[in-house]
Structure 1
Amino acid sequence: MSFDYDLFVIGGGSGGVRAARVAAGDTGAKVALAEEDRYGGTCVIRGCVPKKLMVFASEYSGMVEDAQSYGWDIQPGAFNWDAFKGKLHAELDRLEGIYRNILKNNGVESFDQRATVVDPHTVELADGTRKTAKHILVATGGWPTIPEFPGSDLAITSNEIFHLDELPKKMLIVGGGYIACEFAGIMNGLGVEVTQYYRGAQILRGFDDEARGLVSEEMCQNGIDLHLGTNVLEMSKEGDQIRVKATNGDENLFDQVMYATGRNPNSTGLGLEALGVELGRKGEIKVDQYSQTGVPSIYAIGDVTDRVNLTPVAIREGMAFVETVFKGNPTSPDHDLIPTAIFTQPEMGTVGLSEEEAAEQEPIEVYATSFKPMQQSFAGRSARVLMKLIVSKATRKVLGCHIVAPGAGEMIQLAGIAVKMGATKEDFDRTVAVHPTMSEELVTMKQPVRSA
């Protein structure tokens, strides 16, 4: 049977675009891609990229004070949200153009509309057109969700935060994951009065306890009004503001309320279940180690599979898919020991196991040091940083590395290489320290602070 295409990709985010480009460019496959929103997906349009630019913008407020401490006669000015927002959107438009060109230059045909799956080899576009393909790849990503409660429609999500007409004076952020914590830091740095509610006992669940404890402490020191064990009961409109009643008895008015309490896979209404593609409890598409669904011609990658929801992982899964299906080289994406950065303020970088996870598996030694870094200390700041290694007693391998410090994301990328290679504590010890730096502490810690 002949098909219109060898591959039809649904979703123009980082994973889908990479898979389409490599399949078309490297193997000469005939490829089409459909995207109902903007090319570049969550990361480029409403995630990592605009968020990191907002992190940069928000950090300048503290730099002015620091510069004065270092002898510079610099006076703080006001932050102009409109000027920044204009530049931000121009940059996102530029990046979206690059994604469109990547597809065009590799001969991928693209459709700017929603696509659904009709049968194992047919997709239907929003205008009713049907296209056939030997293989279908679903890369539709995830979408933020807001729980249902009285007044929940008044809340925004991280999607809308980049499009606010004006910067709120007072803002409530609900959630304790990295998106909530990053935006709490961003808005606080931009001069917004930030309150954060999280229903759990400590923010950043799943990360190393000591590291998340320090991030939490520093966020409070920076002026974020963090309430743990707290959730919203109901919200109502009051003039231009939102009245929020909380479980801890508080009742406050805010200009904006942002919910960052979870994201769900974007799999609704794609027609998958009718074909026998299995979906999980959150709507995640169930796939095997080669990203193949229960329907052999249909594959899925990225956040819609809810495996490891990170952009570079979606890209890896896309590459592994092309290797497997188009290059005859069955390749399973490697989800082990993925270094990650959380752009909270202070920043956190982590790779491998937390102290708690490692201690459950085997006897370990913990090497950790917390101190005031020279740059901040000289400027009169009390901010602390943390360098921490989790080491196996049996093999001496470094099982986890956790950094809370300015530039932690940059540091963890390099530490991640060592940990991925299976470096031992002695390998770290044999490495000469780069002085004076914060990260030299990773190779100069001689005595464990505790064993578990």
Structure 2
Amino acid sequence: MSFDLDLFVIGGGSGGVRAARIAASQHGARVALAEESRLGGTCVIRGCVPKKLMIFASGAPAAAAEARAYGWSAEAGRFDWPAFRDKLHHELSRLEGLYEGGLVAAGVAVHNARARIVDAHTVELDDGQRFSAAHILIAVGGRPVRPDIPGAELGLISDDLFDLDRLPGRVLVVGGGFIACEYATILNGLGCATTLVHRGDKVLRGFDTEMRGLVTRQLEQIGVTLQLDDGPTALAREGDGIRVSFKSGADAVFDAVMFATGRAPYTGGLGLEGTGVRLGSRGQIVVDQWSQTAVPSIFAVGDVTDRVNLTPVAIREGHAFADTVFGAQPRCVDHGLIASAVYTRPHELGTIGLTEEEAAARGPIEVYAASFRPMRSLFGGSEARALMKLVVCETTRRVLGCHIFAPEAGEMIQLAAVAVGMKATKEDFDATVAVHPTLAEELVTMRLPVRRAGPELAGARHAAEPAEA
């Protein structure tokens, strides 16, 4: 059967762009891509990139305070939100242009249109054009969701933050995941009176419990008002503000409410109903290890599959798909060992592998930890403590998990991930000579476990305690 194209990609985010570019430029496939919004997707346009730039901006007051402690006359001054916002959008447009330029240079035909699937080999754009393709790749990502409560339409989602005319004086962040923690950090740092409400007793459900406690306390220490074990039940307009009612019975007025209550796969309106593609309970596209759906010609990568919703994972999945289908280089992505970072301030959280709780449930472990005040911030008058933590299998000596709560933890966990991914043992870490003076040297200088645990020894304390300095 003859087709117009070898591959049609629906979605111009990180995963879709990588798949299209590799299939066309490295494997010679005839490729087209449709994106209804902006090339670059959530990460470049509405997520990772603008968020990280805002994290940098929000750290200026703390940097000025530290500079004064080191003998400089320094003041952060007044934050000019419109000037920052306009420069931010200029940078995002530049990055979008690079994405488009890369696709065009690879020979990919780009369509700025919404696409839907007609059948296993046919895609229709919202302008009426139809294309047949030997393979279809769905890479449309996910979208933020609002809670099902009265007045939810009055709240913002994370996408809206970058387009505000002015910053709110009083803001409520709803949620306890990494997006909520990062945006609470940003808004607080930019001078907004920030409250975070979360239904749990600690933020970051699913992360290592000890690290969750540290991030929770840090949010409070930097000035974020925490409202834990609670949640909003209704929003109502009140003058220029929004009155929020809570499960606890309290209520308060805010200038803005931002929902960071999760994301859902963006599968509505794709035309999947009659194709045979199976959807999961959250609307995610069900795929196998090769990112292939129940329809052999249709594949999906990235957040729309709801496997591991991280940009580098989508990129890896898209690249593996292109190599497998068009490059005769079959490979799939191992989703079992992936590093991640939460960009709070002053300390970030970097993590890879099993949490202490997960590891202990599987067998006997040793936990090595070092808690200390970093030299740089200590000299500047800060009492903030860092924590380095290794979770080690008592039998094999393999490092099962590494968790870092410290400045630039994201940078450190990237390198630690190489060692953990190579199945390094605790003795491999011990054999590495420290680089001094650094924060990361603590990862290779911890000699005694602070505790042992396991299915029958959960939480049992060893005589040694974390080193403190």
TM-score (norm 2): 0.95
Summarize deviations over 1:5-48 as a string: whole Å, max 9, x none. Answer: 00000000000000000000011110000000000000000000
Q: After alignment, is 375-384 or 111-120 more displaced? A: 375-384
Which residue number corresponds to residue 303 of structure 1? 303
Aligned residues: 452
In the alignment, the residues of structure 2 paired with residue 410 and residue 5 of structure 1 have an alpha-carbon distance, to the nearest angstrom, of 41
Task: Check the 8 A contact 2:137/2:301 in 1, yes or no.
Answer: yes
Which residue number corresponds to residue 450 of structure 2? 449
Query: 5+ unaligned residues in a row in structure 2: which ranges?
Result: 454-469
1:82 equivalenced with 2:86 (yes/no): no
How does 1:202-351 map onto structure 2 within 5 Å? 202-345=202-345, 346-351=347-352
In the alignment, the residues of structure 1 paired with residue 288 and residue 256 of structure 2 have an alpha-carbon distance, to the nearest angstrom, of 41
Task: Check the 8 A contact 2:68/2:74 in 1, yes or no.
Answer: yes
How does 1:28-427 map onto structure 2 within 5 Å? 28-345=28-345, 346-427=347-428
Summarize deviations over 1:83-122 as a string: whole Å, max 9, x none. Answer: 1001000000000011111111011001100000001000
SS across alignment from 2:36? coil
In the alignment, the residues of structure 1 paired with residue 336 and residue 319 of structure 2 have an alpha-carbon distance, to the nearest angstrom, of 16
Task: Check the 8 A contact 1:391/1:398 in 2, yes or no.
Answer: yes
* Structure 2 letter corresponding to 1:54: M
Task: Check the 8 A contact 1:367/1:448 in 2, yes or no.
Answer: yes
SS across alignment from 1:171? strand
* Structure 2 letter corresponding to 1:451: R
SS across alignment from 1:134? strand
SS across alignment from 2:176? coil
Query: 5+ unaligned residues in a row in structure 1: which ranges?
Result: none
**Displacement, 1:262?**
0.8
SS across alignment from 1:27? coil
In the alignment, the residues of structure 2 paired with residue 89 and residue 416 of structure 1 have an alpha-carbon distance, to the nearest angstrom, of 32
In the alignment, the residues of structure 1 paired with residue 179 and residue 405 of structure 2 have an alpha-carbon distance, to the nearest angstrom, of 17
Task: Check the 8 A contact 1:366/1:449 in 2, yes or no.
Answer: yes
Summarize deviations over 1:41-68 as a string: whole Å, max 9, x none. Answer: 0000000000000000001110111111
SS across alignment from 1:162? helix
Task: Check the 8 A contact 1:273/1:279 in 2, yes or no.
Answer: no
Identity percentage over the alignment?
61
TM-score (norm 1): 0.99
SS across alignment from 2:328? coil
**Displacement, 1:323?**
1.5
SS across alignment from 2:402? strand
SS across alignment from 2:75? coil
Task: Check the 8 A contact 2:60/2:76 in 1, yes or no.
Answer: no
* Structure 2 letter corresponding to 1:63: A
SS across alignment from 1:382? coil
In the alignment, the residues of structure 1 paired with residue 2 and residue 75 of structure 2 have an alpha-carbon distance, to the nearest angstrom, of 69
* Structure 2 letter corresponding to 1:250: A
**Displacement, 1:74?**
1.3
In the alignment, the residues of structure 2 paired with residue 451 and residue 206 of structure 1 have an alpha-carbon distance, to the nearest angstrom, of 21
Task: Check the 8 A contact 1:220/1:226 in 2, yes or no.
Answer: yes
Q: Which runs of structure 1 show a deviation greater than 4 angstroms over 4 or more consecutive aligned residues? A: none
Aligned alpha-carbon RMSD (Å): 0.8
* Structure 2 letter corresponding to 1:269: G
Summarize deviations over 1:212-231 as a string: whole Å, max 9, x none. Answer: 11111111010000111110
